[in-house]
Amino acid sequence: APAQDRLAERAAMIETIKSHAGSAPSAVEAQGIDPAVLKAMGNVPRHFFVPEEQRGAAYRDRPLPIGFGQTISQPFIVALMTDLIKVGPGDTVLEVGTGSGYQAAVLSPLAAKVYSIEIIPELGQRAATRLAELRFDNVEVKVDDGYYGWPAHAPFDGIVVTAAASHIPPPLVEQLAKGGRMVVPVGGPFAIQLLMLVEKRRDGSITTRQLLPVSFVPLRGGRVR
């Protein structure tokens, strides 16, 4: 079974992530990355989520090209973003930017249901097929502009945006549950991007925090419609 392949490399990748966590923002620094997140990452065969020619590099702590000018994110950043939204077993989570499907696979065992949106049809279809083959059965992928979220399944307890937006998309703030958390890289192309944590409090008020500089491909779409 794919989940059993290259286990030693995956274990080494997790050790690398743990050693990076010391340089992470204070939100994570205190306890490090949640062991449940690391366990989830230990169970996802990342080499199945990268193109054939990238398989050798699949367990290095680096982003890798996945075609169409897009990337699978660096494992440490996946761990950090997953940790930051504090997913619980009953939660419904939204991901914007399915890409390879890797982040969705990591979220899968932590949440009740994962919805993921990809704007490039070929990537979305490929990820959906891969996730089904690997039996990540609680993940649903659709091809659409994720700037607008997925209103039919809102509200979401957690939202992960894996492409850099010029601003925090208001429809996603709208679709965040009370007590929910969203991580989103914000910044224009060729500018510094900051990973931001958005929280919707129980009373509905919004707080935002800038966490650390990151480098993501741009969020497309978001046109008025």
Residues 214/194, Cβ–Cβ less than 8 Å: yes
Of 26 and 109, which has the nearer Cβ to ligand SAM? Answer: 109
Q: Is the sign of the CA dihedral 67, 120, 151, 193 positive or negative?
A: positive
Of 94, 102, 45, 93, nearest to 71 (Cα)?
102
Q: Which residues bind ligand SAM (CB under 6 A)?
A: 70-73, 96-97, 99-100, 102-103, 117-120, 123, 145-147, 162-163, 216-217, 219-221
The amino acid at 119? I
| Closest distance to ligand SAM from the beta carbon of 147 (Å) | 5
What's the closest the beta carbon of residue 150 comes to ligand SAM, in angstroms?
Answer: 10
Question: Which sign does the torsion angle of CA 148, 108, 50, 165 carry?
Answer: positive
Q: Which is nearer to ligand SAM, 109 or 221 (CB)?
A: 221
Active-site entry in 19, 26, 73, 108? 73
- Residue with structure tokens 């307890």? 157
Task: Please say which residue, 71 or 175, places its beta carbon nearer to ligand SAM.
Answer: 71
Residue 166 is a catalytic residue: no
Q: How far apart are CA 101 and CA 95, in angstroms?
A: 10
Taking the complex as a whole, how short is the minimal distance between the CB of residue 193 and ligand SAM, in angstroms? Answer: 12
Query: What is the set of active-site residues?
Result: 73
